[in-house]
Amino acid sequence: MQLTLRDQTLQFRITNTGVTIAESFHRLIFKPFYRVPSTDPYQFPGTGLGLATVRHLVSLLGGSIQVESGNHQVGFQINLPIG
């Protein structure tokens, strides 16, 4: 996890190594109950509500969230205004 302050914006960056998320799914993963298709649905358990909840809370705070994926990493950046 990385935390940075830039131009009245607090940036949180969280990176996870391992399975990546194809770019075609980047917008979909923030929708409630959406789960990236897998040949084994039990390999990655969950309800599909986590990222939707985070996006909603970040939005209520006037911020944004982005995802980047590649090189066996998935990164999420949350930007929150301060002040």
Residue 21 confidence (pLDDT):
92
Q: Which CA distances in Å does 45 have to 19, 22, 65? A: 14, 18, 22
Q: Tens digits of per-residue pLDDT, 21-78? A: 999 999 999 999 999 887 676 777 889 999 999 999 999 999 999 999 999 999 999 9
**b/e map of 38-47 (b: 16 or more CB within 10 Å)?**
eeeeeeeeee
Q: Which CA distances in Å does 42 have to 36, 38, 63? A: 12, 9, 32
Residue 37 confidence (pLDDT):
85
Return the amino acid letter for 49: L
